[in-house]
């Protein structure tokens, strides 16, 4: 199997400047954001990336709410992997159950949050209508990132633990629901090639990893993806 290298040191070093530039020029894209399709009122939960909390995706949540979705944060504090969601994502599943009063929920996950969204979709397809991942390195080895050491420190898991490897392989498998992956080949923290796979519709953006969930192109892409999927069917 070919070794997939992490992003270059140059891309890694450019992460913060690129994110700051995106923030400074965000206003240029107001027309693009306003033109994105409106939603159908479905329930959406946004899952944050590693070490981030619901505060990190407030722009995305507010935008989707303005487009007509019932949007929730995950409500589990900072994302510290299994320390936050439980070994089998039990805490996260319970949280999704609490908002699935009208049927399955759409999950949108940033980075590690997208991996968790896929994990729940595999384990509880009755709860998950569809999944959008944003810069989520679910389709390749953890060492194809520049953050695997931080992952080990914050989650208490080892990326070479057989149980973690087996879980990652299951997460990378085909999902029982519609899914889409938003990714960037210029990502400075995770190799873009492992943020997508051949069976999942993918949207490529040009973005840093840092604050990717704020990028106007990403916000518009999420709205467009959701509008193309049929409304979830209530099980009640």
Per residue in 78-108, pLDDT tens?
A: 999 999 999 899 999 999 999 998 899 999 9
pLDDT at 87: 86
Please answer whether residues 138 and 118 qualify as being in contact, where contact means their C-beta atoms are separated by less than 8 angstroms: yes
Q: What does the alpha-carbon distance between residue 136 and residue 153 come to, in Å, rounded to a whole number?
A: 19
Mean pLDDT (the chain, rounded): 96
Quickly state the pLDDT bin for 233 (edges 50, 70, 90): confident
């Amino acid at each position: 199997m070919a070794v997939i290298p992490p992003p270059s040191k140059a891309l890694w070093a450019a992460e913060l400047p690129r994110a700051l530039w995106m923030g400074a020029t965000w206003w240029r894209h107001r027309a693009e954001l306003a033109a994105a399709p409106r939603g159908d009122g479905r329930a959406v939960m946004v899952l944050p990336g590693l070490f981030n909390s619901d505060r990190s995706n407030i722009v995305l949540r507010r935008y989707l709410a303005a487009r007509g979705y019932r949007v929730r944060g995950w409500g589990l504090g900072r994302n510290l992997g299994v320390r936050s969601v439980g070994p089998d994502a039990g805490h996260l599943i319970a949280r999704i159950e609490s908002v699935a009063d009208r049927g399955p929920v759409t999950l949108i996950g940033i980075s590690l949050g997208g991996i968790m969204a896929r994990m729940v979709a595999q384990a509880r397809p009755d709860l998950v209508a569809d999944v959008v991942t944003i810069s989520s390195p679910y389709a390749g080895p953890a060492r194809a990132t520049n953050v695997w050491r931080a992952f080990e420190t914050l989650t208490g898991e080892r990326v070479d633990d057989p149980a973690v490897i087996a879980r990652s392989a299951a997460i990378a498998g085909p999902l029982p629901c519609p899914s889409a992956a938003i990714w960037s080949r210029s990502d400075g923290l995770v190799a873009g090639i492992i943020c997508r796979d051949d069976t999942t519709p993918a949207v490529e953006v040009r973005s840093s990893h840092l604050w990717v969930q704020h990028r106007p192109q990403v916000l518009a892409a999420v709205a467009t993806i959701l509008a193309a999927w049929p409304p979830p069917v209530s099980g009640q």
